[in-house]
Amino acid sequence: MVKAVVAGAAGGIGQPLSLLLKLNPLVDELALYDVVNTPGVATDLSHISTAAKVTGYLPKDDGGKAAFKGADIIVIPAGVPRKPGMTRDDLFNINAGIVKGLIEIAAEVAPKAYILVISNPVNSTVPIAAEVLKAKGVFDPKKLFGVTTLDIVRAETFVAEIVGEKKGQDLTIPVVGGHSGETIVPIFSQISSGAKIPDDKYDALVNRVQFGGDEVVKAKDGAGSATLSMAYAGYRFAEKVLKAAKGEKGLVEPSYVYLPGVPGGEAIAKETGVDFFSVPVELGVNGVEKVTNPLTGISDKEKELVKVAIEGLKGNIQKGVQFAHNPP
């Protein structure tokens, strides 16, 4: 029996993500948690004739514990999204506390769950999650993931437009580093098809992958940030985690993980000087099976991008760790 939880399930990402999970035959039970509206969302989804049993919970239901109890996978898109002019870092003050609270519940009633953090700023919320889990003595770095899949999805789409692929999904493009602005590093020298990005398009393409989220924030004009493409991306990652847990092999997707705690990560932590970094992760029955070093053989331009990303990440990670130890 597989129990999946979506925390923030009534939100812009949470609702379509919950819909996709309701359609997944690997999910037996889908528990929706939010501070508002989950009874309605759960009842609505429960009328879909797929197998997963859907339940909705609010804080009054044992402060969230009833929802999280015994979960196998917890996906967290809870928090506030960006408005025009905001960076992901501007969300820190509100979302840091929300993520900390949700991870505390998970640590208590679902310590073995895979935890997928979507709430921004991912560069800082994942270190917060790690610190909370460490403090509770239940940190398994192989099961904590910052979801950066949307950056990969955007890279696939934008590169496909340039190289004339019909479906970006057929390309594998590592996007590594972090998940905000200049910490996002697309490695175009490693596009699976061997496609090359023309020199005159390179800088604009890098910029579009790094700041693609701003296009959505601007177009939504105050009504939030990416929700539908994020639900797709979050689902794609969750589905891979679930399939790998069932024994499927060869499933790889970059994710923002705690390097010193995952096989193959220690050397990358030494090379980059940061403990958290998004790297290609091979998934297995216990979560991260191994990570591969995406920096081997990269171009000089990519080396420059990585350098900038690392500088940004250092501050983001430190901010998260400090918050976990000394919340305001």
Q: Which residues bind ligand NAI (CB under 6 A)?
A: 7-8, 10-14, 33-36, 77-82, 91, 95, 98, 101-102, 118-120, 122, 147, 150, 179, 224-227, 230
Q: Which is nearer to ligand NAI, 72 or 214 (CB)?
A: 214
For residue 300, the minimal CB distance to ligand NAI (Å) is: 28
280-307: buried (b, 16+ CB within 10 Å) or exposed (e) per residue?
Answer: bbbbbeebbbbbbbbbeebeeebeebbe
Q: Which is nearer to ligand NAI, 39 or 224 (CB)?
A: 224
Q: Which is nearer to ligand NAI, 30 or 98 (CB)?
A: 98
For residue 6, the minimal CB distance to ligand NAI (Å) is: 9
Q: What is the DSSP string of 235-296?
A: HHHHHHHHHHHTT----EEEEEEEGGGSTTHHHHHHHHS-SEEEEEEEEETTEEEEE--TTT
Partners of 32 in the beta sheet?
6, 56
Of 82, 88, 100, 179, the catalytic one is 179
Catalytic residue at 179? yes
For residue 240, the minimal CB distance to ligand NAI (Å) is: 16
Q: Which is nearer to ligand NAI, 80 or 252 (CB)?
A: 80
| Contact (Cβ atoms closer than 8 angstroms) between residue 100 and residue 76 | no
Tokens of 25: 């035959």
For residue 36, the minimal CB distance to ligand NAI (Å) is: 5
Q: Tell the burial category of 135 from Cβ atoms under 10 Å away from its Cβ (0-12, 13-18, 19+).
A: middle
Residue nearest to ligand NAI (CB): 11
Q: Any idea which residues carry the catalytic annotation?
A: 179
